């Protein structure tokens, strides 16, 4: 099952997904643009939380992401910056996008890709 994770690293459910990808329990993918955004966010989070993020798991998470170079061009989200997640998911053949972003969650589904929260994903698949 392919997943496009998108999340805040502060809550338990996203951390569970990070660990699952880091330990190769779960396949996840991202585009270079998405990875750049994740790395920027994690640097900020590490600076603010002063070590509360498992940097080893985070490093493995980034290493284990499948790199996707999307060719799709999608203009669907009310926040155009979020279209990159749809593009990546479509070209990766992903089944899920996990997000806390209301601009993505409002879509609920894009083509055959379900857009759900990290909590929903964990409760369904990472029991």
Q: How is the chain split into domains, by residue range? A: 2-125
pLDDT score for 14: 84
Please count the other Cβ atoms lying within 10 Å of the Cβ belonging to residue 72.
Answer: 11
Q: What is the mean pLDDT of each run of 10 residues along the chain (127 residues)?
A: 55 83 93 91 76 80 94 96 94 92 94 93 90
Query: What are φ and ψ of residue 54, in 5° steps?
Result: -75, 100
Q: What is the pTM of this model?
A: 0.88
Distance CA 119, CA 122 (A): 5
What are 36's two structure tokens?
Answer: 């750049």
What CATH number was assigned to the domain covering residues 2-125?
3.40.50
pLDDT score for 42: 81
Distance CA 88, CA 74 (A): 10
pLDDT score for 3: 65
pLDDT score for 5: 62
Distance CA 87, CA 4 (A): 10
How many helices (H) does the chain have, and how many strands (E)?
6, 6
């Amino acid at each position: 099952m392919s997943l496009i994770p998108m999340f805040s690293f502060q809550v338990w459910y996203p951390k569970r997904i990070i660990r699952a990808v880091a330990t190769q329990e779960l396949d996840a993918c991202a585009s270079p643009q998405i990875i750049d955004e994740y790395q920027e966010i994690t640097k900020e989070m590490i600076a603010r939380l002063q070590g509360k993020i498992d940097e080893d798991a985070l490093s493995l998470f980034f290493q284990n992401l499948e790199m996707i170079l999307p060719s799709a061009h999608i203009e669907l989200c009310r926040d155009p910056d979020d279209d990159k997640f749809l593009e990546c998911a479509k070209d990766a053949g992903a089944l899920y996008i996990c997000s806390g972003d209301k601009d993505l969650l409002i879509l609920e589904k894009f083509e055959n890709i379900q857009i759900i929260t990290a909590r929903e994903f964990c409760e369904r698949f990472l029991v």
